[in-house]
Amino acid sequence: MSQTLAKMRFNCAKARETVERTKTEHFAIGAFNIDNQDTLIAICKAAQKTKSPLMVEVSHGEVKAIGLQNLRCMVDNYKLEYGIEMYINLDHSPDVESAKKGIDAGFEFIHIDVSQERHDASVAEIIEATKEVVSYAKFTGALVESEPHYFGGSSNVHEEAFDYEEIKKSFSTPEDAKHFVEATGIDTFAAAVGNLHGSYPVPKQLDLELLSRIRNAIDCNISLHGGSDTPGHFFEEAVKIGVSKINVNSDMRRVYRDTLVKVLEDNPSEYAVMKLMPTVIDAIADIVEGKLKSFNAVGRAVV
């Protein structure tokens, strides 16, 4: 264990305070996936430059690659080095036991997503699993996020366009959101209003009118997954409506790979990788900085 229980509870309490501030100050906390240390450094640089609070997050594959405790230690070290307000979110945790491990590691935010692993999971099954995680999270005070159905797409760069009319069939409804929140006691509801996972040849469209109705139907926080390839004005309006958290991954992965390819092509004789990465890190930091501005998070950090 890299943190004491007292430290975990202190961090979670502070995270809750920041989420509460999103409602009165009308900003959203950016949640940015990391693949490695380079991505983490880029996120930290953007947070330091803009003085924005944010989360780094890992999904199941990234947990397997990095490790929960390794990530906890890395984030704590870089948070101190850069003097920033930064938390960790366990993104799309596929089952109760995985979510509990994130809580035990001191993650401040936990997303339990049973439907990600089992697309055909029933609402009753999802509610039961989510309630168990909500109960367990009280040990540290971690904030729990969930949703009652499968959220489509994948955090990659897709060549095929999506069928918006087909996507609309999986949109959240105010009635279902209200029932799910009341049945589970979650802190954050992951709304589906056009915010599909991944990056596509066509920009995404968010149904802001539906988002507003969901906001009016529930009292808890609202998150938006699939924040890549979305015109910034949708985020600006979503924040005004009352979204507290927005996830970003694919836009970062795209610029990481594209910039790295160019750097390698421009430096065919350089084998010291550390000399090649600053350009890549800066390119990722620019993406994060732009998102934080769209989320109205600039200057909101409390260190």
pLDDT in tens, 231-261: 889 999 999 999 999 999 989 999 999 999 9
What residues contact residue 153 under an 8 Å CB cut-off, 6+ apart?
162, 196, 197, 198, 226
Count of domains for the chain: 1
- 85 near 47, Cβ under 8 Å? yes
Query: For residue 300, is it within any domain?
Result: no
By DSSP bridging, strand 29-33 and strand 54-58 are parallel
Write the secondary structure of 8-40 as one string of H (helix), E (strand) and C (coil). HHHHHHHHHHHHHHHHHHCCCEEEEECCCHHHH
What is the distance between the alpha carbons of residues 275 and 112, in angstroms, rounded to a whole number? Answer: 39
Q: Which residue has the tokens 């209003």?
A: 193
Q: What is the mean pLDDT of residues 175-198?
A: 92
Distances (CA, A) of 233 to 74, 117, 193: 33, 32, 15
| Full residue range of the structural domain in which residue 255 is found | 5-294
Q: 168: number of CA atoms within 13 Å, CB side?
A: 8
pLDDT band at 173 (very low <50, low <70, confident <90, very high): very high
- 230 near 203, Cβ under 8 Å? yes
Query: For residue 303, is it within any domain?
Result: no
What is the distance between the alpha carbons of residues 169 and 246, in angstroms, rounded to a whole number? Answer: 22
The answer to whether residue 49 scores a pLDDT higher than 90 is yes
Query: For residue 280, is it within any domain?
Result: yes
- Determine whether 5 is exposed, middle or buried from the number of CB atoms within 10 Å of its CB (0-12, 13-18, 19+): exposed
What is the distance between the alpha carbons of residues 87 and 29, in angstroms, rounded to a whole number? Answer: 10
CATH number of residue 100's parent domain: 3.20.20.70
H runs (alpha helix) in 96-225: 96-104, 114-117, 123-137, 164-167, 174-184, 208-217
Share of the chain above pLDDT 70, in %: 94
What is the distance between the alpha carbons of residues 149 and 274, in angstroms, rounded to a whole number? Answer: 42
Which residues of the chain form beta strands (DSSP E)?
29-33, 54-58, 86-93, 109-112, 143-146, 153-157, 188-191, 197-199, 221-224, 245-248
Q: How does pLDDT run across 78-137, given as a tens digit for each residue? A: 999 999 999 999 999 999 999 999 999 999 999 999 987 787 899 999 999 999 999 999
The neighbouring-strand residues paired with 55 are 31, 87
The larger pLDDT score, comparing residue 168 to residue 291, is at 291
Query: For residue 301, is it within any domain?
Result: no
